[in-house]
Amino acid sequence: MEAVVFVFSLLDCCALIFLSDCFIITLSDLECDYINARSCCSKLNKWVIPELVGHTVVTVLMLISLHWFIFLLNLPVATWNIYR
């Protein structure tokens, strides 16, 4: 069970890093005036909920599997994402 949790967590973290890279690229395109603000917002807004769900799933999995240290490391970021 632990191996499955950590493999899923690894894959989810890779997806979240990919999403962060896409956010940075889109924001740099906005800064260089390659796209307008409306287009930038529409591109980024469709990925906010999947990012929130992905991070929350990993945090809850660590809580359920009783990995307290990793859960406590993920908790502030998950709280910030829910607040945002």
User: Per residue of the chain (84 residues), what is the pLDDT tens digit?
Assistant: 788 888 998 999 899 999 999 999 999 999 998 999 999 999 999 998 988 898 899 898 899 998 899 889 988 988 888 887
Amino acid 74: pLDDT: 87
User: CA-CA distances (angstroms) from residue 39 to 23, 49, 77?
Assistant: 13, 18, 27
Q: pTM (2 decimals)?
A: 0.79
Can you give the pLDDT at residue 15? 92
* 8 A C-beta contact, residue 16 and residue 54: yes
Are 20 and 47 spatial neighbours (Cβ–Cβ below 8 Å)? no
The CA R_g of the chain, rounded to the nearest whole Å, is: 15
Q: Which two tokens stand for residue 25?
A: 């690229």
pLDDT given at position 81: 82
Instruction: Note the pLDDT of residue 69.
Output: 92
> What's the pLDDT at 19?
92
Chain Cα centroid distance, residue 47: 9
